[in-house]
Amino acid sequence: MIEIAIEKRLGKFDLSVNFSVNKSKCVIFGSSGSGKSSLLKMIAGFYNPDYGSIKINDRIFFSSEKKINLSIQRRNVGYLPQEYTLFPNMTIKENIEYGIKKRKLKDKMGIENLAERFNIVNCLDRYPYEISGGQKQRAALARALIVKPDILLLDEPFSALDKPIREELRELVADVAKTFSIPVLFVTHDLEEAFVFGEEIVIIKDGRVVEFGDKEAVFENPRFVDTAQLVDFGNIWKIKGFFDNYIELENGLKLTCENIDKSAKYCCIKPENVMILRKDTDISDKENKIETVIEKINFRGRYINLVAKTDDGVLIYVNIPPHILGKMSLDEGKNIIISVKKESIVFCRE
């Protein structure tokens, strides 16, 4: 159980966050400069909030009201920043055991055991400059875990690594955290990384928590338009009016919907939930059919992003698998009919 309710003035930037999470793997997600790293450093104890409280598993790390402020050592936090932060004049083994020696702790987890799990046994007698970036981060992670922390704080630790290594280390962290029952707070601005790793997610924008909760719920059915923007809904439209079974948007579109929320100001739909309809098949049963022309084709690696445009100038974003491009002979300037699935339309508030 993690409960955070703090305020901090950081130069011209105000950080004010309030959230609680219960799962063992939680992601703090937001764009660069949103306050994610500052939040993590205050949990670790590198500097203090101006006001509020930090509570981890019923232990109060900080409380301005109760005048409690545990030292970094007493918080027993494992912290891993973006940089490797290994001591260059120490071997990898000396780096890993640094924390337990400094705190005069017993080696409960076993350096050899951790080194084997992290596949760096053959690096223990080497110095940081003699090993790769991936091996350095494995060693830094082992050093953070050797003290058997009450919580592991990861501040975008894999952002400088190649994708296969990032994926491997994420899985390794999840496995070790589960094995030793260590909760993890993982900071990232990578949407895929947030979705893959987290069980719960906290969305931060401009120093404020926009939304938090179960990962699936936040990603698939955000309550606020700021969240929808951050998790790549792509198609976000302001609502002009509500009717029995459809809505009218400010851009002129009329959409048939399910479970209309009349308190919402926006509706949104993910680009992957917009369908391109084949003209040589029966499309009479499809809802929200819209005639458009392909304005632009963007290649995104694993998928293709199409920008379709209506006669009224409304842009609609569509994500498709790469093989569909050739199969349907799609090209810029081609007229296509798209369908916005009514069950995929999400209503959001400001």
What is the band of 103 on the pLDDT scale with cuts at 50, 70, 90? confident
From CA 180, how far away is CA 191, in angstroms rounded?
27
Position 200 scores a pLDDT of 94
Q: Indicate whether 214 and 245 sit together in one domain.
A: no
Position 238 scores a pLDDT of 95
Q: Indicate whether 49 and 165 sit together in one domain.
A: yes
Q: When comparing pLDDT for 207 and 282, which is higher?
A: 207
From residue 15, how far is each of 42, 81, 185, 209, 223 by CA, in Å? 11, 20, 18, 9, 22
Task: Write out pLDDT tens, residues 139-151.
Answer: 998 998 888 889 9
The arithmetic mean of pLDDT across residues 86-103, rounded, is 90
- pLDDT over threshold 90, residue 157: no
- pLDDT over threshold 90, residue 67: yes
Residue 261 falls inside a structural domain: yes
Q: Indicate whether 259 and 203 sit together in one domain.
A: no
Residue 116 falls inside a structural domain: yes
Q: Indicate whether 261 and 325 sit together in one domain.
A: yes
Residue 225 falls inside a structural domain: no
What is the band of 252 on the pLDDT scale with cuts at 50, 70, 90? confident
Q: Indicate whether 141 and 271 sit together in one domain.
A: no
Position 192 scores a pLDDT of 85
The arithmetic mean of pLDDT across residues 214-237, rounded, is 92
**Pairing outcome for strands 151-155 and 77-80:** parallel
Position 287 scores a pLDDT of 84
Boundary of a domain, candidates 220, 249, 283: 220
Residue 227 falls inside a structural domain: no
Boundary of a domain, candidates 193, 220, 247: 220
Q: Indicate whether 188 and 263 sit together in one domain.
A: no
- pLDDT over threshold 80, residue 282: no
Task: Write out pLDDT tens, residues 323-346.
Answer: 998 889 899 999 999 999 888 999
Residue 228 falls inside a structural domain: no
Task: Write out pLDDT tens, residues 181-212.
Answer: 889 999 998 888 888 888 999 999 999 999 99
Query: In this structure, which amino acid lies at residue 223?
Result: R
Domain residues for 107? 2-220
Position 33 scores a pLDDT of 85
Q: Indicate whether 40 and 69 sit together in one domain.
A: yes
φ, ψ dihedrals at 22, nearest 5°: -120, -20
Task: Write out pLDDT tens, residues 3-38.
Answer: 999 999 988 889 999 999 998 899 999 988 889 999
Residue entry with tokens 């919907």: 257
Q: Strand, coil or helix: what is 131?
A: coil
Sign (positive/negative) of CA torsion 340, 346, 347, 350? negative
Percent above pLDDT 90 for the chain: 60
Position 43 scores a pLDDT of 96
Q: Indicate whether 177 and 118 sit together in one domain.
A: yes
Q: Indicate whether 338 and 264 sit together in one domain.
A: yes
The per-residue pLDDT of the chain, averaged, comes to: 90
CATH of the domain at 318: 2.40.50.100
**Pairing outcome for strands 246-249 and 235-242:** antiparallel
**Pairing outcome for strands 254-256 and 246-249:** antiparallel
Q: Indicate whether 153 and 252 sit together in one domain.
A: no
From CA 172, how far away is CA 204, in angstroms rounded?
26
Residue 241 falls inside a structural domain: yes
Residue 74 falls inside a structural domain: yes
- pLDDT over threshold 80, residue 169: yes
From residue 54, how far is each of 6, 11, 130, 188, 348 by CA, in Å? 7, 22, 39, 21, 30
Query: How many domains does the chain fold into?
Result: 2
Q: Indicate whether 248 and 121 sit together in one domain.
A: no
CATH of the domain at 203: 3.40.50.300
Task: Write out pLDDT tens, residues 173-182.
Answer: 888 888 888 8
- pLDDT over threshold 80, residue 284: no
Residue entry with tokens 């569909």: 324
Pair of tokens at residue 216:
């699936």
Residue 38 falls inside a structural domain: yes
Position 255 scores a pLDDT of 93
- pLDDT over threshold 90, residue 63: yes
The rounded Cα 93 to chain-centroid distance in angstroms is 32
Q: Indicate whether 21 and 49 sit together in one domain.
A: yes
Percent above pLDDT 70 for the chain: 100
